[in-house]
Chain A
Amino acid sequence: MKKNNIWFGLLALVVCNSAVAETDRTTNLYWGDTHVHTYLSADAYGLGTRVTPDTAYRYARGDVVIADNGKEVRIRRPLDFLMVADHAENLGVRPALEAGKALKLTEAGEKLKVAQSKNNLWIRDLVAAKTEAEQNHVLTMMGKAKGDWKAPLANDPAFVRSMWEEVIAIAEKYNDPGKFTAFIGYEWTALYMMHRNVLFVDGAEKTRQVVPYSLIDSADPEDLWQYLEDYENKTGSRVMSIPHNANLSGGAMFSLLDFSGNPLNKAYAKTRSRWERIYEATQYKGDSETHPDLSPDDEFADFEKMGMTYKAPKTAANTKGAGKASAKGSGKATKSPEKGSAKSNAKKSSTKGNAKSTAKSSAKSSAKGDTKNQNPLEGSYARGALKRGLGQHAKLGVNPFKVGLIGSTDSHIGLSSAEEEDYLGKQGALRVASAVWNAAGIAGVWANKNTRQAIFDAMQRREVFASTGPRISVRVFGGWDFEKDDAFKPDLTEVGYRKGVPMGGDLAQAPKRRSPGFLIHAVRDPDGANLDRIQVIKGWRDKKGRLLEKVYNVALSDDRKTDAMGKTEPVGNTVNPDDATYTNRIGDPELTTVWTDPDFNAREHAFYYVRVLEIPTPRWTDFDVARKSAKLGPHVPVMTQERLYTSPIWYTP
């Protein structure tokens, strides 16, 4: 062997040969759900959920557990992380009532206590009912007798503390660093579906220094953020809030007015973007990516839309002044919680110091302003919100809606089941009546380990994506130097991190005459369906201030090509609805590409996110039919085309 000179010997001392030790940027894909309700949520309890947080965590980590129908259930693949996010409002009150605990009840609480004694009978009647009419009759009685579950039922701080301690203790019990992450958190159940999940990075020591913040404290998101800031100041730690179901918010979630009806300002944008860095874009109560009326040129926009078209809430749009909002619409007998919120708002007005009126009237004006000046659909869907964010960024200097995307279930039965073939959201003969529900979703997180800290960090930097259930693996990097061949590199990930930023990241100030390139790699769910295509969704703000969007097909399966119009032939369909099967004869197991924006203008704010579509597969409704547990109505869809949405990469001039 040749003698080598001393230089190489010395070099060996300092240069590490291990290709791996050089970088700590390696990330693994973790799957989870930050949104599962159990029997501690008053609404879930009232309809028969008895699954506990303990069972919820055990199910998520892969144990066989007993569902409320007495049957054994098991998740096909365990999750890596879970947050039980029960409603903060009346957390645990109903099980406590049932157990005969002595609570300081309010009037509403006393009423519920009486009603609750009959609850099990009602549920039995519901099960026994042979017709919809019979069920409806029972449900009416239940509703009348029980009142609103979000109205304050008890006035008992010691009880609130004890329930929170219980929530914390169970999460602590199941949190197993490196193996399974159990987050501590809850849901703040605001009006107008402006719901947020509060997710703490910490364990017991810090989280027990607060109690959950509820609608009864305030209906104004800014008050919630203040609570989060107080928590961080007090503990020196970190927490975030994750909105969901903008699709049902009537435009209130991503409104251009704050809760008091004033246009957003820079301070608001800063605060919001500090606390709300991700958004739950797909779940049981429908998909919130975009809407056909918002994205008319997007042929895949009409997906799990909960059967609704947007219309401004009648409450707000039709009611002038602070009239009886609850008189509108449903006109139901339920008692609204505004009283409580108004009270606490008043109490807080000294801190906030502005002209905040009651939750009722302020949300009203907010929604009203929306309908007058803006397309309220934009405030209801992620894509619209992301576009609005660009406009606000240009105006305020800060983007209030700079959100990455995750999916979660919002299960109210304690079981995080997002797979079509094993959708437990509804069971038995009644589930066809709920055919609108969406068997989704799940959060994909790129983190370097499975710990609260690492997953929280990944969520903060938005290196996350939303899937409607399938465990599709997707990498996205944006940068200025990607070459076509990078898509074929085995160390694509390392190339991506080296030459660009991952999903959730930022590109700024384009080098002269360069367009951003995106390195994208999607691998189908190993136990699932092949992929149809990868798309890049671009949103941008042109120099006239218009907010525009475009969908690009950037990788197509089966060697298909796009025509001059950007259209492509459909991938086909192998679904056999009779037995709820399909095959991977069509589609590709893996798609990878480098795509460069052909329409880039370096002076325009823009975002780019990736949507990956599976080939068509049977929808959960079809599995119900195939397993003879249900008959479908004539027009219930039996097929779906599942998908994922990555967090965007933003370009700022």
Chain B
Amino acid sequence: MTLDSLWISIYSWGMRLRDKKRKEAIVNATVMTAVRECPLSRLVALLLASMVLPTFAQRSYSPPVGNAFPTSVYWGDTHVHTHLSWDAYGSGNRLTPDDANRFAKGETVIANNGQEVSLRRPLDFLMVADHSQNFGVLPHMAAGNPLLLEKEASKPLVRLLRTIPGTVREALNAPTDKSIKALGKHSGAIKQLWSTYDYGADQRFMREVWDDVIATAERHNDPGKFTSFIGYEWSPRLIHRNVIFQDDAARTLEVLPYSSFDSINPEDLWTNLRDYEDRTGGRVISVPHNANLGGDMFRLTTFHGQPLTREYAQLRSRFEPLTEVTQIKGDSETHPLVSPTDAFADYETWPVNDKNPTREQKAVSYARPALMNGLDLGINLGTNPFKFGMIGSTDAHTSLATADEDNFWGKMAVNEPSTYRMSAWFYSAAGYAAVWAHENTRASLFDAMQRKETYATTGPRITVRFFGGWAFTDDDALRPDLGQVGYTRGVPMGGDLVAAPNGRAPSFLIRAVRDPDGANLDRVQIIKGWRDATGALFEKVHDVALSDDREMDRQGNVAPLGNTVNLTDPSYNNSIGDPELAVVWTDPDFEPDEAAFYYVRVLEIPTPRWTAYDAVHYGLKDLPKAIPMVTQERAYSSPIWYTP
């Protein structure tokens, strides 16, 4: 007998024997008729036939056909230095751009301290961003590149390079920190020579290095699987920018990296980038970082001290859609002096060279006050020069993009894991860039960066959805197709709301899901900044979703979450916090005439900081109390702006 007739026989007997209720619940009367009255093999045919017969409906049945919105979040780092950066090489990094890419892809590599290292989870994208001034000079000089050696001016540096006091591996594994200090001293001497002279001014040399950087990125770029961006860092004192090209070799080969020997004025950099776009038809952005260090990044005047102009604002907002807001050299979201009522403002605040901090200085050095100033400038100039989204990246100078607390490989090669690195306890194991995109390609990720559909985390892979609109209802937060609802009825992070409908306040649809391999969430907050009719600027932090069913009291206070961190292991557990928080929040203080921005901050429950992992791994005792051992990691979304 045939298979078909067999199972249909079974089927039909089943139909007869089964109790009526269940039978009816499963097949409708039509099929019952078919089963009883038509030859059984025909039923098979009927069932199969009905799989394939055309429908007369106009639209496809398949809902995803029409989906135009990004469905995946991709994780990466746009800021990793390799041995091509003078300071990285000078402090002992011998790992190449190739190593950096292999590591980001998940391969195990040998770090400068001699140990094997790998990421727990690979990254989806990476940009090797080496300093463009004296780009690649040190490794090439050490290797005897004739283009460098033929210059008279190279001689002192060449001599210095011959006297390097050992490798990082030897230094970190030596019984005392003497050899590290020697390395540091040597590196300082290199810095002195390095900063005064453009050894790479020879275009032939620059071309050689740049071609190689491009070739490495091209080799590792694997559309759909891993994106390796082509770029570099332009680093005049404290107004550093990473230049990210969307393009491949064909276009990027037409230019050379722009360096601080060319100009230390950001306007000149943007002009250079504009020329690139005009000439090649390509696309490029520049991403500022470490605003926290200097007080110059978000100044309200131009480089030459002139008032900002509309042209300035247009140029800046065109090329700088993003800011790198958290990284190893501290967090740049906000500062306690700027946001004194924000209980979580003092996070990985950079303590070095910060003797007499002032509110005024900090207000031009952090993202939140810059976003606020941007509202004012936007009205005065017609364009908001500080309309940027958020990403995180590491700024690692080890070629290793690590941002996990239990797998942190430090800032410089000499800060790779060893018994000595605790003196640099202030480095922050952060951060990564999260990008909502359609696919893992240069074009798709770059598009997302340009529309600011990105967020920053201090390392954990927290998934954050954030939409603003006028018509969200409370239930939308509970919808399984929350993303679809968000895009259909609102704008995603990085977007704009304008001209409020009469009597309506904006509402925000938010969902945060914890890192699947990480810590539960403490809360979701919305940070609102706004400008009132008089031009005064304000900020307010709203707790919009709290874990463990906690509620806010009348004063807006929330019971603290507690802490499961055990420093002896170190460990923590997820017996507190929630794996997921979702909410629709409507601004209760909304004024339709006031420009505003809203961004999301998600806080994890407390977890051990990298210093705690070091202390246990190396058995370090009697550490100074000032060294923080517990952290509360977080994510910052790009803002959604409201313009009256």
**A residues apposed to B, CB below 8 Å:** 1-6, 8-13, 15-21, 26, 43-44, 47-49, 64, 67-77, 123, 126-127, 132, 135-136, 139-140, 142-143, 148, 150, 178-179, 189-193, 195, 245, 248, 250, 302, 305-311, 313-315, 325-326, 328-332, 334, 336-338, 360, 412-413, 417, 421-422, 424-437, 473, 485, 488-491, 493, 523, 525-529, 581-585, 589-590, 592, 617, 627-629, 632-637
Kindly state the separation between the CA atoms of A334 and B2 in the bound complex, as whole angstroms: 8
Kindly state the separation between the CA atoms of A634 and B20 in the bound complex, as whole angstroms: 13
**Contact at B120–A422, with CB atoms within 8 Å?**
no
A120 to chain B, nearest CB (A): 12
**Contact at B27–A4, with CB atoms within 8 Å?**
no
Give the size category of B's interface with A.
Answer: 35 or more
**Contact at A435–B63, with CB atoms within 8 Å?**
no
Kindly state the separation between the CA atoms of A589 and B33 in the bound complex, as whole angstroms: 43
B28 within 8 A of A: yes
Which A residues touch B56, using CB under 8 A? 428-429
**Contact at B15–A308, with CB atoms within 8 Å?**
yes
Pairs of residues from A and B, 6 with the lowest C-beta to C-beta distance, nearest first = A633-B28, A308-B14, A428-B55, A330-B5, A430-B50, A329-B9
Q: From B14, B29, B62, name the one whose CB has the most chain A CB atoms within 10 angstroms.
A: B62
Knowing A309-B17, A427-B51 are in contact, say whether A635-B65 is a contact too (CB < 8 A).
no
**Contact at A17–B115, with CB atoms within 8 Å?**
yes
B211 within 8 A of A: no
Knowing A139-B45, A193-B7, A307-B14 are in contact, say whether A326-B2 is a contact too (CB < 8 A).
yes
Residues 1-50 of B contacting A (Cβ, < 8 Å)? 1-11, 13-15, 17-18, 22-31, 33-34, 38-42, 45-50
Kindly state the separation between the CA atoms of A27 and B178 in the bound complex, as whole angstroms: 42
Q: Which of B26, B54, B225 contacts A127 (CB 8 A)?
A: B54
Q: Which of B29, B46, B54, B475 contacts A633 (CB 8 A)?
A: B29
Knowing that A334-B2, A412-B48 touch, tell me 11 more A-B residue pairs with CB under 8 angstroms.
A18-B115, A18-B116, A67-B60, A189-B3, A190-B3, A313-B9, A314-B13, A315-B6, A429-B55, A429-B56, A527-B483
**Contact at B117–A18, with CB atoms within 8 Å?**
yes
Knowing A334-B41, A529-B480 are in contact, say whether A314-B27 is a contact too (CB < 8 A).
no
Knowing A191-B3, A302-B22, A311-B14 are in contact, say whether A73-B418 is a contact too (CB < 8 A).
no
Q: From A21, A436, A632, name the one whose CB has the most chain B CB atoms within 10 angstroms.
A: A21
Kindly state the separation between the CA atoms of A410 and B85 in the bound complex, as whole angstroms: 55
**Contact at B575–A488, with CB atoms within 8 Å?**
yes
Knowing A330-B8, A436-B27, A584-B479 are in contact, say whether A629-B513 is a contact too (CB < 8 A).
no
A380 to chain B, nearest CB (A): 9
Kindly state the separation between the CA atoms of A139 and B38 in the bound complex, as whole angstroms: 10
Which A residues touch B4, using CB under 8 A? 330, 334
A229 to chain B, nearest CB (A): 25
**Contact at A435–B28, with CB atoms within 8 Å?**
yes
**Contact at B63–A422, with CB atoms within 8 Å?**
yes
Kindly state the separation between the CA atoms of A336 and B176 in the bound complex, as whole angstroms: 85
B573 within 8 A of A: yes
Q: Which of A309, A326, A430, A582 contacts B18 (CB 8 A)?
A: A309
Kindly state the separation between the CA atoms of A16 and B113 in the bound complex, as whole angstroms: 10
Return 15 A-B CB contacts under 8 Å, by A number: A9-B418, A20-B118, A74-B65, A123-B53, A132-B33, A148-B2, A308-B11, A332-B2, A332-B5, A436-B47, A488-B573, A527-B480, A584-B479, A635-B29, A636-B28
B263 within 8 A of A: no
**B residues apposed to A, CB below 8 Å:** 1-11, 13-15, 17-18, 22-31, 33-34, 38-42, 45-57, 59-65, 67, 71, 108, 113-120, 172-177, 224-225, 406-407, 409, 417-420, 422-423, 463, 475, 478-481, 483, 513, 515-519, 564, 571-575, 579-580, 582, 607, 617-623
Knowing A3-B176, A433-B30, A526-B463 are in contact, say whether A143-B11 is a contact too (CB < 8 A).
no
Which B residues touch A330, using CB under 8 A? 1, 4-5, 8-9, 39-41
Knowing A68-B52, A73-B65 are in contact, say whether A433-B116 is a contact too (CB < 8 A).
no
Q: Which of A48, A332, A589, A629 contacts B61 (CB 8 A)?
A: A629
Which B residues touch A527, using CB under 8 A? 480-481, 483
A70 to chain B, nearest CB (A): 6
Kindly state the separation between the CA atoms of A76 and B34 in the bound complex, as whole angstroms: 34
Which B residues touch A70, using CB under 8 A? 54
Kindly state the separation between the CA atoms of A336 and B9 in the bound complex, as whole angstroms: 15
Which A residues touch B422, using CB under 8 A? 1
Name A190's closest neighbour in chain B (CB-CB).
B3
Q: From B1, B62, B513, B622, name the one whose CB has the most chain A CB atoms within 10 angstroms.
A: B1
Q: Which of A9, A47, A189, A417 contacts B52 (CB 8 A)?
A: A47
**Contact at A20–B120, with CB atoms within 8 Å?**
yes
**Contact at B14–A309, with CB atoms within 8 Å?**
yes
Q: Which of B65, B575, B579, B618 contacts A8 (CB 8 A)?
A: B618
B616 to chain A, nearest CB (A): 11
**Contact at A435–B27, with CB atoms within 8 Å?**
yes
Name B421's closest neighbour in chain A (CB-CB).
A1
B522 to chain A, nearest CB (A): 14
Kindly state the separation between the CA atoms of A428 and B54 in the bound complex, as whole angstroms: 6
Q: From A11, A19, A49, A189, name the one whose CB has the most chain B CB atoms within 10 angstroms.
A: A19
**Contact at B11–A306, with CB atoms within 8 Å?**
yes
Kindly state the separation between the CA atoms of A132 and B22 in the bound complex, as whole angstroms: 23
Which B residues touch A9, using CB under 8 A? 172-175, 418-419
Knowing A4-B620, A17-B115, A422-B64 are in contact, say whether A337-B2 is a contact too (CB < 8 A).
yes
Q: From B30, B38, B52, B61, name the one whose CB has the most chain A CB atoms within 10 angstroms.
A: B52
**Contact at A428–B3, with CB atoms within 8 Å?**
no
Which B residues touch A19, using CB under 8 A? 120, 406-407
Which B residues touch A314, using CB under 8 A? 9, 13
